[in-house]
Structure 1
Amino acid sequence: MMFFLKNFQLPATFNLPKSQLQMYGEGLYCAGEDLLGRCARGKDSLERLTSVVAWSISTTRPPIFGFAPYNPVLGETHHVSAGSGGLNVLLEQVSHRPPVSALHATNAAGDVRLVWCQSPVPKFHGASIEAAVRGRRELRLPRHGERYEVDCPNLLIRLLPTPSVEWSGDVRVVCAESGLEAQLSYCRSRSFLGFGGDARCVRGRVFRSASRDETIYEIDGFWDRTVSLKDVSTGEVSVLYDAQRAIGKLTTPVVQDHKGLAPSESAVVWGEVSDALLKKDWEKARQAKRRVEDEARKLAKERNEKGEVWTPKHFSLSQNKNGEWECWPLEESVPPAPIVVPS
């Protein structure tokens, strides 16, 4: 889960050779272990909730300061399959202004279904920029009849005194069916006299919603290293999340079926730009990027002149009374993709 300033058109030399849609998808399908499938394999509701917390932490990937992916064009899609569990992931850029991305993921066993809608909203604070990631994340475990609502941390871009990118803010993981809840805080760790500290600290707890003062587990650690889980009643400490195992050695997705690629696929839309960037042909990358953006503006102008309203191909899109975007897939499951992550 990454955020970059979508309202600014960066020169191609500052672009990563991939789309923001691909970055969102990588938070799911690029993983060294099947954390999402583990949520469904938990022996009881408490183990499943802590597994959801671990998966949520895994989507917090280290950002890269100074470089940004491409802003997805309206209608752009990204479709990838990964893992022995047969995880199929489909994303679509369902709105351009404001930018809204939708994700739908299901596995082959049918015991995991994730719907993830997000729209970053930047706030400027002088020496920093904080991006609140709005939108709904809902994970369903059909075999257990459970539905989990999961928040996102905010992305904090510090410009002064030293440029850096950090995750910050509070995250809730709630399961109404089991009555269990987790609260996490992404924050800077304490240090001597309050100076320094580690910006990649995460702390929290697990409790029952009906008795919020009674903590079941305490959560403590660093989201880019390890996060521990402490049983309050017994004092036993275990590893909840290990970043080295989860995201330490990732495999690059490959196109397995070129004919199956949709024209809207990120790899197709931005293919020429990415190829030029990887070859460090900056002028060719600049021109190719301009062509993609000009074509998107041309199509938008034609729709406006005809009075047409663009509608997503794979999702329905709405905004609730709180201003949050909600995206719902039009199909029950995601089919296997032409792009795969090798096992």
Structure 2
Amino acid sequence: MVTGAGNDESRIVLTKPVALEGESDIDYTAPNPLQLVLSLFKNVMPGSDLSRFQLPPIFNIPKSQLQCFGESVYCIATDMLSRCNGGKSPHDRFIAVTAWSISTLRPLIFGVAPYNPILGETHHVSSGNLNVLLEQVSHHPPVSALHATDERENVEMIWCHHPSPKFHGTSVEAEVLGKRQLKLLNHGETYVMNSLNLLIRFLPGPGTDWVGKVKIQCQETGLEAELCFRSNSFLWRRGNHRSVKGKIFDSSSLQTVYEIDGHWDRTVGVKDISNGKLTIIYNAKEVISGLTAPIVKDPKEVWPTESAMVWSDVSQSILSKDWEKAREAKKVVEEKQRELLRERDSRGETWIPKHFTVSHSKEGGWDCSPIQKWVPPAPIVVPL
């Protein structure tokens, strides 16, 4: 944990990113988490939309969902983006992008979740030459935008996420709508991909996993990938746990050029169909192991909308396991949000994002475009 110096209003609380199991030095889970979770949903009807569902702090980890999205980009032990940019051929780069997309997944903890970001909340962090900026551009429905740039590598990322969680009786599944773009500007290539769904399973055994299918497309090279991510089956077959299988193919001929197989929390390999050669393209222990928390480089430059500042009192109370204080602190944050909404409504004002332009259509859903070409360096940095 890192706490910025200053009075209560300027306190900044940052914690280690979510990494592989067994690496966390803090236990966030409450006793009997399954019993607590089931009691939480006892009055919720199957099929209910949970996007407005408020969790008590005992079910929260001490960070916002914006921070979790950001960590999947800037908290990484291996420079996967440089590999994407450094690929000598379109095939090399596409394989590297596929590996990078897998690297954005993190194992999750059953029974706890990050805070729902408030409207206008931001998270701004730098890791080396990579500058990352996120903003919560809509509260109901929740929509998060991410812009990340590396001027040295000439790489840009633009994400737009709209989670839509629903209760299904024995599970909760959050469909993460929106798209992710990775632009390798030196090569004139844009890779577009979707996000996986988050599955929280209560019965027959509790667990939290990423599931579904990811499609990666590069229009400039004509290459595509289809990846299928699976969780444990009801028969508890270990082989399916966090497995990923798929293929990379030429979109014009539909000819498969590579097959992908492995487990995203262990290793993933790619097999060249032309010669049968198998290469490991992703090793979770090397990429998302031993991660450290960001630190505050310049407290005076941290925006008041920064996630680590907005939720600092709640996070500090959770870390201290002072649940009554955490409830009060969370209530203060949420009530301030409601008060600002009432003030805007009374003046007939519509809130406008500061860092993104946002659009929505029935066909395409939500779309976010950054206002600035390059993300500036941040006052919060990842130690290298």
Q: What TM-score do you get using the length of structure 2 for normalisation?
A: 0.85
Shift of 1:220: 0.2
1:48 pairs with 2:93: yes
Query: d(CA) in 2 for partners of 1:294 and 1:327?
Result: 27
What whole-Å deviation, never above 9, does each CA across 1:173-216 have from its counterpart, x for those lacking one? Answer: 1000000111100024799xx7623320000011100111x211
CA contact (8 A) 1:6 1:71 kept: no
Name the CA shift for 1:267/1:232 in 2 (closer, same or farther; >3 Å). Answer: same
Identity across matched positions, percent: 55
- Seen in structure 2, the aligned counterparts of structure 1 residues 135 and 190 have a Cα distance that, compared at 3 Å, is closer
Which one of the candidate residues 97, 106, 112 is aligned to 1:67?
112
Q: Which residue of 2 aligns with 1:278?
A: 319
What's the CA shift for 1:7?
A: 2.1
Tell me, yes or no, if structure 1 residue 180 matches structure 2 residue 223.
Answer: yes
In the aligned structure 2, how far is the partner of 1:20 from the partner of 1:166? Answer: 16
| Residues in 2 aligned to 1:51 and 1:204: alpha-carbon distance in whole angstroms | 15
Paired position in structure 1 for 2:22: none
The code of the aligned residue for 2:264 comes to: W
**Correspondence for 2:179:** 136
Give the distance between the partners of 2:92 and 2:380, measured in 1 at CA: 32
Match of 1:209 among 227, 251, 267: 251
Structure 2 equivalent of residue 117 of structure 1: 160
Alpha-carbon distance in 1 for matches of 2:107, 2:50: 16
1:295-310 aligned at under 5 Å gives the runs 295-310=336-351
SS at 1:211's partner residue? Answer: coil
1:291 maps to a residue whose letter is: V
Secondary structure, aligned partner of 2:186: helix
Q: Could you tell me how far apart the structure 2 residues matched to 1:127 and 1:321 are?
A: 30
Query: Distance between the aligned counterparts of 1:195 and 1:137, measured in 2?
Result: 32
Distance 1:230 1:190 in 2: 26
Count of aligned residue pairs for this structure pair: 337
- Once the two structures are superposed, the pairs formed by residues 1-343 of structure 1 within 5 Å of their partners are 6-83=51-128, 86-188=129-231, 196-197=237-238, 198-212=240-254, 214-343=255-384
**Other structure's SS at 1:94 match:** strand
Runs of 4+ in 1 over 4 A off after TM superposition: 188-191
How far, CA to CA, are the matches of 1:146 and 1:285 in structure 2? 46
Give the 3 Å change call, closer, same or farther, for CA 6–250 of structure 1 in structure 2.
Answer: farther
Root mean square deviation, CA, Å:
1.8
The question of whether the paired residues in 1 share the 8 Å contact of 2:344 and 2:351 is answered with yes
> Given that residues 77 and 93 in structure 1 are in contact (C-alpha distance below 8 angstroms), is that contact kept between their aligned partners in structure 2?
yes
- 1:205 aligned partner, one-letter code: K
Q: Is the 8 A contact 1:104 1:329 kept in 2?
A: yes
Q: Distance in 2 between matches of 1:20 and 1:334?
A: 20
Higher deviation after alignment, 101-110 or 122-131: 122-131
Whether contact under 8 Å (1:136, 1:324) holds in the other structure is no
| TM-score normalised to structure 1 length | 0.94
Match of 2:116, as an amino acid? N
Structure 1 stretches lacking a partner, 5+ long: none
> What letter corresponds to residue 54 of structure 1 in structure 2?
A
